[in-house]
Amino acid sequence: MNVTLWGTRGSLAAPGPETARYGGNTSCVEVRGPDGTVLALDAGTGLRRLGAALPRGLRRVDLLLTHLHMDHLQGLGFFGPLYNPAMEVHIWGPASTTQNLWARLTRYLSPPLFPVHLRDLPCRLSLHEVPCGEFEIGEFRVTSSLVCHPGPTVGYRITTSGATLAYIPDHEPALGARSFPIDEDWTSGYSVAAGVDLLIHDAQYSSSEYATHIGWGHSSLKHALDFAALAEVKRIVLFHHDPAHNDDELDRITAEAVASARPPFSVTPAIEGTAFELGNNAFALGANQV
């Protein structure tokens, strides 16, 4: 499977010269299977470029939302396939106890927040509330599980022949733990991430910043590395960078966290445009910039 990072920022898009290397777009990741199935993970502002880069002739795309915070939704109205009558678009997202997915998405995709109403989009649109369990999309087996973050939020575990990816961009597994990590059975997100080839995980804060943001739903870099160690992943991508962190700060806090934790797996800070190739018993890190 091929994994491309189209948006790596959390909370708010942060374009500018000080963030040019890591990128300013919010959460969006593309996953392509060997047979051509295309998944988009989250609809942050990176989704616009993802939509523009899809292969000609593609007739179906599945968009998997972890939750509906704006930094994971703001690109949705600018996703080209929504305006193509020949395109089948499936949007998957977590259920809520208050309103269904259609009603919750319409709060953004309707005036006055957006000029086009969800019901008027010309594509063939289907909405699905994700089951908490396993389901199939084309060649992928997908498992979703609720994780610790404000509001209904899931993480995704995505498997195809010979490769498994976990995507948990907004996650605070250390919340409520006297010391972290704790026992795996009591750790939010553990089953999503256990043993994966690549884990894309929340790493919004430095340890000192986390101390003043407990309960905000995010991880420190240290907690992300501790979580990855508990789950025995092969590689972690540190994702959902705080909008206040510029390129030099991200270099520094990543180096400090890795030097302190000395993890037995590879650590890669998420850089917009990076592509990874997973599978066939060989894990190649591609530094291909799109």
> Applying CB under 5 A, which residues contact Zn ion?
10, 69, 71, 170
Cβ 16 to Zn ion, closest distance in Å? Answer: 19
* Distances in whole angstroms, Cα of residue 209 to Cα of each of 46, 126, 154, 245: 26, 40, 24, 11
Cβ 110 to Zn ion, closest distance in Å? Answer: 21
Cβ 156 to Zn ion, closest distance in Å? Answer: 14
- 170 or 272, CB closer to Zn ion? 170
Cβ 25 to Zn ion, closest distance in Å? Answer: 12
- 1 or 13, CB closer to Zn ion? 13
- 69 or 201, CB closer to Zn ion? 69
**CA–CA separation, 64 and 29 (whole Å):** 10
- 170 or 242, CB closer to Zn ion? 170
Cβ 139 to Zn ion, closest distance in Å? Answer: 28
Q: What sign does the dihedral 125-131-137-143 (CA atoms) show?
A: positive
Phi–psi pair at 190, nearest 5 degrees? -60, -45
- 65 or 230, CB closer to Zn ion? 65
Q: Output the residue with the shortest Cβ distance to Zn ion.
A: 69
DSSP 241: B
3-state percent breakdown (helix, strand, coil) of the chain, nearest 5: 20, 30, 50
Q: Which amino acid is at 2?
A: N
